[in-house]
Structure 1
């Protein structure tokens, strides 16, 4: 009985750290599916090695050490996840072609509840949200793996340099040097600041309500009025992306006209407003999944529309229904 109780206690202690470790691994790897695999591997390794845990550091620090090593091992293959705008130039709508790339190419979205710890400090919450934005995540991918780990541990999780040095088995000077190089690289990537999802922000709510009305009504004039002049539209797993009113509207009125009659259901992804995008079902009975649409908002207008089309992956992940009934 005592042994069973001990195991249950250990399971409970490990599980308390799963969510924050998932957020850390997600920032490292750019994929929630890979991050959850990494965390599960971390938990298994910790369980097997618990009898060798000497307690010189906290259990949390020890788990981060294991998780970091798991992520660094996974990153040895050299794959760097990206957004379409990291790989190609914007395409004029007249030349637009849909070319899919393998799943491992793409930076993937994540539900906030899977990667952000529950914190009561609004400032801490803002930092957590800011550092899972798609643009920030894409910028992180430009860093070598160890620099990525240093920057996340120091700048996002606010670890001391000495703690990071101990975790990585290196010196404080080495950590500080890696952090300086990571900051310089991140400054060159210059991820644009965008507004976090805020259901209490009446201005943002009005903008999103107007977007839903314009998109569901397929009113291109109303839709254009909500977009920045250099707004972007991307559609992973396709490497095509469009920039500007004319090309976005041209796409929606051409190939994208299959979106007429769509329904949008609000959700949140990567700290940003998002929609589950449903097409009218072919059998005429309700609506079926088409895309997870992650919105980037800046200054009261929409800066970017990121439509992730692999709905078989994203809708279950976000606990979204796989069909909307015809009666709404």
Structure 2
């Protein structure tokens, strides 16, 4: 939903170059200092090529053990990889009318552009490539993966050029965007699905299928007023997806409670769907701090990665002696 008389999104008046320069000075520089190179934790999904096999050594990652070779030789062996330093990332961008909503100074469309601008710039500064698929009235814009600041500017311009309200009256089908990405993106990549997930049902299965091949992060856009209505009296409301208008009395405490209850149930259902799809979720609120959100999300992924490494440290009982402290050095 959006208010019938919502103000123009502030970022619309800015040129793509002005937006990027502002982000480079106010966001990217702060993240460089806070993450200190750990942005790759957020942007996992790099390709790995098998380079060699060698005997297991103390502190090796047990997830890299080649069990076939280990069973044949009765000595633990690990696979040695060389990392593909060039990472490809894709942004699947939902630019349907519902992202034009914002109850404060910023709209969801603006925080979407800022997130994409920051992440795309951080990636391309390190020689990686980014691409994008834009969904408005349908999947009508595809930007192939490229690197460089000029490409980031081109991406931001494409996001700005989406005509507001172009698909009003047509319900968003997020599954069309996800299925198109599955057909287009062949090489394993990091995929950011940037959307408010206000969509026709049916996107859950293609999202899960996409996550089976790629490292997928669901970047969920939201506004506080979508969760709880303040007492604003009698106000006109427009359904941004269908264009339907109605007058609601937000002074009615019972109405606000029903709205909050329905919104809470939708939140629970959405988080459950994202969890079952096997994707990480980053929530971007129109009243939040982009830097703090990205840093907090990165820390969570680092901790989870360490926990996963510990949980994976299980070996067959007949080989467990090889992994006792000092065993690798003794060999």
TM-score range relative to shorter protein? under 0.3
TM-score (norm 1): 0.25
TM-score (norm 2): 0.25
More helix by share: 1
Q: Which has the higher contact order (CA 8 A, sep 6+)?
A: 2
More strand by share: 2
